[in-house]
Amino acid sequence: MKKHYITTAIVTDILVLALFVLGTGFYTCISAMDIIKPYWDRVNTVADWNNLSPDYNTTEQELIINSYYAWNFHNDFRLDGMGLYACIGLADGTVLESSDFCLAWKSEDSLMETEEVRIFAIPQGFEDPYNIYDPVFEGECDDVYIHGGTMVYQEKTYQLDDFDYSLGERVSVEDWADGQYLYCYVCRLARDDYGRKLNQEAEDIYNEFLASFNSGSLSMPAEKQDIWTSYKISCCLTPAGYMYTVQVFHPVELVLRSNIALYIVLLVVMLAALILIPLFIAKLYRSRKEYEMRSRRLTRGVAHELKTPLAVTKAYMDNWDILSEEDRTKYAEMVGREIDDMSDLITTLLEMDKIDSGRIKLNLEEVEISSLISSVYKRVKPLADERKLEVKIDTDKEYVIKADLRLMKIAISNYLTNMVKYADKEAKVDIWMNGSKVLVQFKNDSTNDSKSNTDKLSSNGMGIEINENIMKLHGFKSGSNLREHETVYWFEAEKV
């Protein structure tokens, strides 16, 4: 049976684990598919910035500026978790790759009424991630870039990096600005380590695609949509050169990152279930074992209790024919008592069945426990007198508890009968307060060894079995202590 419970626990844990994996997997896949469309729409929007007509007479300057606008649009309107790599190939063989930069618009005011723009590197040590309003530059610029020098902004001076590529004649930035307002916009193509990782992945995709293209195999598609990795490679050819844009995102990874708290909670719940299920099944196993042990004890108890009256009755009946009329009357009374004992035993069994099945409803009322014990003892006293026992009952104080009077009479009768039945010379009932609770102990001086302990707690203690159920039904604590020269049964109830 134990093996069956272990197998059940393992199978249940496997099913819970499978349900967790399948459930979270299904949710993740559905959520990832929902993510693809809005991200793909944004990918196409960025790609449209590079969609210049092949016969459009684009100059190198226009090609460069248009590409930087596309990168800037990616910075402004990208969704979290989207990587970008782009490059510009000019007619002279120069290749310019995407990186962080700033755009400086020249205008008569902050409304940027002109499209004339220059590109410069993000100042070293500059922390503001968005805008720079009308800075002062010390350095040179050509038709596209501001090359090196310094930028003074809000009373701070920043050093600018130079660009490797120049286009057109260089003049001072001051001459180019010609006293007009400069509005500068900061474009960062990666905002964190994850963004930089995605940008590098986009570059790797471009290099792989380019190698495939140059080899003539065209084994790598220009775009791909799935829940694991989605990317698009856009290309535009003009007389001035070409532009490539690669954008990449991972739908499943985005779902995981955005729902990390939910996944952690689900994981904790799943782990708790994996731990609690075996514990619950182990508890069921222990309950089943306890039930079986109780059933065996009950069977032994019934057999023991019925064996004696049946044997006595059979002996009387076997000798009935040879008895005188006077003896027949006497033995008939004895047989009647034995039958009454068996009837009481059957009543006890039926009472136990009612308690075990939960068909008994408690009728709680205030019960004075000392008086109840004294009253019930009057029915047990003849047995004590017959055995010449000294019995002491503590009735000095009144202790009121809430209990079902009928059931408590049964329990106390069983306790007192068991106490008197197994006593050697004396028995005692002690009642006192244990904090806010009333503690009642039924003691006798019986001698105990390992065998008698087992007997008294099992085969001869069917009434005690009923008592345990009655106490559980009331929510009272109960138990027993068997020492070498003393046996104690007790219960503890809240005092009113």
Query: Which two structure tokens, joined as six digits, stand for 368?
Result: 């004075």
Mean pLDDT of 468-473: 86
**pLDDT > 70? residue 222:** yes
Q: Residue 186: in which H helix or E strand, if any?
A: strand 181-187
Token pair 């069994």: residue: 349
Q: How many CB atoms lie under 10 A from the CB of residue 71?
A: 23
Among residues 49, 77, 74, the alpha carbon closest in space to that of 64 is found at 49
Looking at residue 317, what is its pLDDT? 79
State the first-to-last Cα distance of the chain, in angstroms, to the nearest integer: 45
Which stretches of 229-368 are DSSP H helices? Answer: 251-258, 260-318, 325-357
Pick the CATH number of 360-496 from 1.10.1040.10, 2.170.120.20, 3.40.50.720, 3.30.565.10: 3.30.565.10
- Domain regions of the chain by residue span: 33-255, 360-496
7-46 pLDDT, tens digit each = 888 999 999 999 999 999 999 999 999 999 999 998 888 7
Question: Reduced to 3 states, what is the DSSP secondary structure of residue 349?
Answer: helix
pTM of the model: 0.62
Q: Which residues pair with 383 in a beta bridge?
A: none
| Range ranked top by mean pLDDT from 273-282, 293-302, 324-333 | 273-282
**pLDDT > 90? residue 3:** no
Q: How many CB atoms lie under 10 A from the CB of residue 418?
A: 24
Q: Which residues pair with 88 in a beta bridge?
A: 96, 243
Q: Residue 422: in which H helix or E strand, if any?
A: none
Looking at residue 458, what is its pLDDT? 40
Q: How many CB atoms lie under 10 A from the CB of residue 93?
A: 7
**pLDDT > 60? residue 110:** no
Do the beta carbons of residue 189 and residue 195 sit within 8 Å?
A: yes
Do the beta carbons of residue 420 and residue 387 sit within 8 Å?
A: yes
**pLDDT > 80? residue 306:** no
| Residue of 322 and 55 predicted with greater confidence | 322
248 pLDDT band (50/70/90 cuts)?
very high
Looking at residue 168, what is its pLDDT? 92
